[in-house]
Structure 1
Amino acid sequence: MSDNTAKTAKTRRKPVVLMSMGTYERNGHPYQVMTHKYILPITDISDCVPVLAPTCCGIEDLDAYLDLADGVYLTGAGSNIDPALYGQENMTPKKAQDKDRDNFDLPLIHAAIKRGLPIFAVCRGMQEMNVALGGDIYQKAYTQPGFMDHREDGDDAIEIQYGESHAINMVPGTWFADLLGQPSIMVNSLHGQALKNLGRGVEPLAHAPDGLVEAIHLPEVPQFTLAVQWHPEWQAAENPFSVKIYKAFGDACRARAAQHDE
């Protein structure tokens, strides 16, 4: 194999996407978990290789994980971020928290930004990005005057919970509006918390009809950054807008991998 052929083969390797796992307990045994619905769009649509990082071990090896990565994917979860991290008392004490994930993901976000790694975040991941950059959260968005109740009904079948719930309106003239090719799309809605004050460098890309921020990015950094409040991973291959999002993230990770391998 010639040097040029070897270099071409190397740069064509699939990009590696780092995903942080979450805490789950069953029968007194703690687990680190990640659901299939988040992993499969990365393999099947983004065409990347997921690497799952346990958050229960702290951040001592964070740089070692990031050395492997061409992108970072922050998923949703059933837990809320510790409100102490954004200067509030806990208004949802019955809701699960995952402080190991908080303590892993917030430094991960800063490190990924510094390294120029593409970042894609969903639901809790979007809230983590905002908190990491100094923003805060409505802990009970559904109690705020003028806001819709964005929560799912837990008694509904899962297909209904993740079904289309409301429209979101793109910020005109943004790359995200161009990517999706529509001024408005329908999305699902399964969140009780929402962004309040935006963090440093965070700008909105889409809003719900009630004004809540549904998508953000970091326009001051050079790499791909996108975070959304809805769940594009749900049956992603059947949703043309989800496909566009995951392909765009995968393309950004490929570009990063090629740059890294030069």
Structure 2
Amino acid sequence: MSNNNSGKRKPVVLMSMGVQERKGHAYQVMTHKYIVPLVELSGCVPLLAPTCCGSDDLEQYLDMVDGVYLTGAGSNIDPALYNQENLTPDKAQDRDRDLFDLPLIRAAIARGLPLFGICRGMQEINVALGGDIHQKLYAVGDFDDHREDSDDPVDVQYGESHSVRLVAGSWLAELLGKDEISTNSLHGQGIATLGEGLEPLAYAEDGLIEAIHAPGLAQFTLAVQWHPEWQASANPDSVKIFQAFGAACRQRMAQTTPANHR
């Protein structure tokens, strides 16, 4: 399935990369599974931005794009950025990505760019707007353990894990045409206090916030804690989410691109 419009300019979407070490060398990477649905379902062109060189060029990047897409990653956000001590020192961090993405989010919001976040990306949006997260969700109150079993095959890790209840009457519930969906679950952290202007769109069975938006903003904003990018084209809910983001980016492009360049 594809939104490929031959001969027409497609929206450009910024994706920030993250660090990964391989045989003593630091790489900047982006996982294939995040890129494919953006191209095939959203109908957009990805612009991959390295985060290892600081944020001085953020505005120039944003001049080139029609939306921002913040993906998941194996690293956690540095808790110092939401005024907490690090309770998971054994977990990888990527401070370069933190220091690129947090100002990126605020700048994208200021420009009115569509914004879509997945897993770490959802947590970044929350922290960028002054919220915080549970560093050890599995050790807090009545929350379930939302982590995957690393010994399981990948297909099992990304298999359906629990149901998510969508806020009744919300635009996300209307988009998906239902009040409850089944999702995968691969995270050890989760939203605690919501950032300024953010509101829940969905909850897990244990009450954890699983999706957020910013209803006070004119542009498309959506972030989810699960992984809709996994085998997205085979999941009708994921297809609708990626298509909605692509439509928002096309609308933004139409508003800012002269007619003779479309």
2:159 and 2:144 map into 1 onto residues whose CA distance is 16
2:130 and 2:79 map into 1 onto residues whose CA distance is 12
| TM-score normalised by length of structure 1 | 0.95
Deviations, residues 117-170 of structure 1 (Å, cap 9, x unaligned): 000000000000000000000000001121110000000000000000000000
Letter in 2 for 1:24: Q
Letter in 1 for 2:89: P
1:108 and 1:147 map into 2 onto residues whose CA distance is 31
Partner of 2:252: 256
What is the Cα deviation at residue 79 of structure 1?
0.1
What pairs up with 1:22-61 in 2 under 5 angstroms?
22-61=18-57
What is the Cα deviation at residue 13 of structure 1?
1.0
Q: Which runs of 4+ in 1 moved over 3 A?
A: none
1:145 and 1:107 map into 2 onto residues whose CA distance is 32
Number of aligned residue pairs: give it: 253
Deviations, residues 86-106 of structure 1 (Å, cap 9, x unaligned): 010000000000000000000
Partner of 2:232: 236
Residue from 137, 141, 165 that aligns with 1:141:
137
Letter in 1 for 2:243: K
Partner of 1:225: 221
**3-state SS of paired residue (1:154):** coil
The reply to whether residue 198 of structure 1 matches residue 194 of structure 2 is yes
Over the residues paired in the alignment, what is the CA RMSD in angstroms?
A: 1.0
What is the Cα deviation at residue 198 of structure 1?
0.3
1:141 and 1:94 map into 2 onto residues whose CA distance is 15
The reply to whether residue 82 of structure 1 matches residue 61 of structure 2 is no
Partner of 1:185: 181
Partner of 1:3: none
Which residues of structure 2 form unaligned runs of 5+? 1-5
Letter in 2 for 1:69: V
Letter in 1 for 2:134: Y
| TM-score normalised by length of structure 2 | 0.95
Residue from 137, 155, 175 that aligns with 1:159:
155
The reply to whether residue 213 of structure 1 matches residue 209 of structure 2 is yes
2:27 and 2:228 map into 1 onto residues whose CA distance is 25
**3-state SS of paired residue (1:164):** coil
Letter in 2 for 1:182: K
